[in-house]
Amino acid sequence: MRSDETNWSTTTSHWGAYRVRAVGDTVEVAAHPLDKAPSPLLGNVAAGSRHPTRISAPAIRRGWLDHGPGPSSRRGRDEFVEVTWDTALDLLAERLDATRRTHGNSAIFGGSYGWASAGRFHHAQSQLHRFLNVIGGYTSSRNTYSTGSSSVLLPHLVGDADTLLRNADTWPTIAEHTDLLVAFGGLPEKNVSVTPGGVTEHATSTALRQLGNSGVEVVSISPLADDAPGTPGARWVPIAPATDVALMLGLAHTVLTDNLHDPVFLDRYCVGFDDVADYLLGRRDGVPKNAEWAASWCDVTATDIRALARKMASKRTLITVSWSLQRIEHGEQPVWAGLTLAAMLGQIGLPGGGFGHGYGSMGDVGETGAALPLPFLPRGHNAVRSFIPVARIADMLLSPGSRFDYDGGTYHYPDIRLVYWAGGNPFHHHQDLNRLRQAFGKPDTVVVHEPHWTATARHADIVLPVTTTLEREDIGAGRRDTHLFAMPRVLEPHGQARDDYRILADVARRLGVGDEFTEGRTPAQWLKHLYGGWRERLRRERHDIPSFAEFWEQGSLPLPAGHRHPTPLAAFRADPDGNGLATPSGRIELASATIAGFGYADCPGQATWFAPRRDATYPLHLIANQPRTRLHGQGDIGETSQNSKISGREPITMHPRDAATHGVGEGDVVRVFNRRGACLAGVVLSDRVRPGVVVLATGAWFDPVDLPDDGAGAFSGSVVADKALCAHGNPNVLTSDIPTSALAQGCAGQHTRVDIELFPHPLPAPRTLLPPAIEAASSGELNTEHVPN
């Protein structure tokens, strides 16, 4: 720690708790003293606090001011005009009121996706949705980009998604009981520094490294060697991308035909195994899913498949499936097939055995902290019933009124006239960004709250500058954290930035519902109110919780350990009747009559193999995984993220053999392209990726450059009209905006096919580190001829 220990405060973030103090107009950051493995993402904090991309004042897109609300292809291309807060809020209130009066509240899409802050009160998604509920509701989204497939599938299989997503065996349990951990998608350490709400101590990275010392054999099945943890002796199986289901079925076939399965467990605790056996043996389609069949797809030898299956059946085995595997087309299948294989081994519900989902995908999966209730801001009731699966926003905006299937139901996309976004950046997490740009051109008005000029802010009409975590007071904790933190203000707000609560309260007052939104409380009063209610809940459970004043003075509060109950599947196994799950049968549904009854060709009633799409035009398989240098796109302007760039571009990792074939070398800037788009990236060579695979992490801020068509055809030379090149390296210009299946309609953006070549033009300068063109103007100088009164 620093020799000068004065003026330090403790706060928390999605990448963990840390110490911070103001130094002039910026901050200095240090690791929390309890954290022996602090996140490298702390290196992004200081630069982001006063970066040139900070939004200084409310701003309106010039075209919206000049021509009034309406669809526009100029979003993302226009300059902005700074206005006063009164002008901006008057315009916003008028637009909200006109939209709901003319088109109904379903024409408002409340697009907040969270992740803006670890604070429990200044949680942008909760703030926005509470406000929209107060004014009559909004079209909402369901599920997440991270687990969109699993959260729909798992209730059909085990009764509740949280049974697997939030109630995993802890790392100490695994260290004590597990002999063999088979990780489909690996256990990448880069992911575990991030947890919603943060952690005080990053224990998972230490636990991963110590697995070998505990006697746990780890097999990491992934195209990427770095998806294996730094565990001594961890074995890497470099599987062909998107073929995990084939390998799982080949393993299951060996378990079945070698009579290594557990018929007692399957009969008592599961339904549908006869259908599974018929499929594995090829009785319906004439194709036995044996080891040779699996080897032909996954490029793992049949000998190795049989050996692994026999080892899994002979030991206490935990099969894990990362969230990344369900973020592909037919992403439901790896989860279903992994659960099926684990059920056949008969170890589900045993300590350290069976099936896990999400280990290595998020820092709190496997953590030991008790899942205590946390303070939260009530959102109220949404009176609007229309919704979309979260990853279908472009479909909704481009095709209002069209039909979509979802989890057995048939729905129609609403006609959205106003998009209101706070606390998220869809131009980070959505796919096919050129298509998303077209979609964002369809509404009458797009409103964004943002601290920075992200691509989403640049594609808005009304941009309202909001404070960052360090510019306001809050309280924060993660879902399994050991501490609750006071989050004091460290810096004064940048420019004219305001917090989301103040902005929304001012709009609510203009619409006549101010008291309903605020309940008469200031932010400071809300913090005391939320803490007080939480304190009373825990005191009823006989936990000694100090007063708010004492807590704030201390800066943090060690949370009571509580009682960690057996996992739901352990409790289920202990039930002699074996029918305690909230499924139609009460058991694990290896074959689901409910899903089969939906009649979805792309998601039948049991785990099924679907061959991945292949396209000889684009010989490389791109994996768009989570970055190690930032949280999604958050922090991309920070030091840790910027130090990873090559010539200002996001790095793309290639096998030396592929680089030689394509005539590129270490440090070259290349154009990565397919039919959907193109981006620039800097080459990094590594033999720790499987040949034929390239890796370009998500999160580089989208930097579209419109280049003229040179007549050479789509993406064989310059970018054709309406297909911008991302000069910065965002892989989502390349990924396909298709659903996982009709069941979940989840995000399928983890994989795509691409080709690579040296960039043939002078390198365009990245613009993400600078704000867009902004015209400073007073309200009296505005051209308001077309702006509604």
Which candidate in 113, 171, 501, 701 is catalytic? Answer: 113
Q: Are 40 and 193 in contact (CB under 8 A)?
A: yes
Q: Is 293 a catalytic residue?
A: no
Q: What is the DSSP letter of 105?
A: G
Q: Is 411 a catalytic residue?
A: no
Which whole-number Å values give the CA distances from 408 to 153, 385, 603, 631, in the listed order?
11, 17, 11, 34
C-alpha closest to that of 567 among 164, 295, 227, 141: 164
Tokens 């580190």 — which residue? 769
Cα torsion 351, 353, 358, 364 to 10°: value is 20
Region of 252 (left: φ > 0; alpha: ψ -120 to 50; beta: rest) is alpha
Question: 368: how many CB neighbours lie within 10 A of its CB?
Answer: 15
On the 0-12 / 13-18 / 19+ scale of CB atoms within 10 A, 431 is buried
Give exposure, 538-571, as e/b (b: 16+ Cβ within 10 Å): beeeeeebeebeebbeebbbebeeeeeeebbbbe
Q: 3-state secondary structure string, 648-688?
A: CECEEEECHHHHHHHCCCCCCEEEEECCCCEEEEEEEECCC
Which candidate in 115, 269, 453, 618 is catalytic? Answer: 115
Question: 114: how many CB neighbours lie within 10 A of its CB?
Answer: 15
Chain center to CA of 186: 17
Q: What is the DSSP letter of 234?
A: P
The two three-digit tokens of residue 131, written as one number = 């406000």
Q: Are 348 and 588 in contact (CB under 8 A)?
A: yes
Inter-helix orientation angle 273-281/244-257, to 10°: 100
Which are the catalytic amino acids? 113, 115
